[in-house]
Structure 1
Amino acid sequence: MKQWIITFSKDENTTKLDMHAEQQPSMDETIAFVTAYAKEHYDVLEGSTPDKGLEGPAQDLLKRYGIAITGIVAHH
């Protein structure tokens, strides 16, 4: 299994997570992986409500935890 480095931005900082998968994870898989991490390590932001027209897992991650995924790269 390959190791993938997932990077995300939160509070003007970049965090790296290691993810193991045979092939590059899809954005949906990556969002699910980062969301699971966020649920364990961060509080939900107060007043977080989805914007109309900007709905979906990536926007939910941003609104709920202030996290934006910035990269998915293979670790060699």
Structure 2
Amino acid sequence: MTTWIIAYNKDGNTSTLKVDSAHQPDIDEAVELVTRKAEQEFAGEDIEHEHDPDMESTPATRLAERYGITVTGISEA
């Protein structure tokens, strides 16, 4: 099993999430993993960023709007 590092940005700061997986997570998997972490980390906090009604509603967009987080990379550790 390989360790993968998912890099993400929140409020101008880069953080990482390490994941063990037999395959490299794709962007959708990475967004899901970071969203789960954000839900745990910010549970109970009222965090909401500006909503742009013209943007397509995808998991990555919802992550950015709700927590201000964008996934910036996936690499092998």
Instruction: Verify the 8 A CA contact 2:7 2:16 in the aligned structure 1.
Output: yes
Instruction: Structure 1: give runs of 5+ residues left out of the alignment.
Output: none
Q: 1:1-76 alignment to 2 at 5 Å?
A: 1-42=1-42, 43-46=45-48, 49=51, 51-75=53-77
User: When the two structures are superposed, what TM-score results if normalisation uses the length of structure 1?
Assistant: 0.87
**Structure 2 counterpart SS, 1:60:** helix
Count of aligned pairs between the two proteins: 75
What's the C-alpha RMSD, in Å, of the aligned pairs?
1.6
Identity value in percent: 36
Distance 1:44 1:7, change over 3 A: farther
User: When the two structures are superposed, what TM-score results if normalisation uses the length of structure 2?
Assistant: 0.86
- In the TM superposition, structure 1's runs of 4+ consecutive aligned residues that sit over 6 Å from their partners are none
**Structure 1 counterpart SS, 2:40:** helix
Distance 1:60 1:22, change over 3 A: same
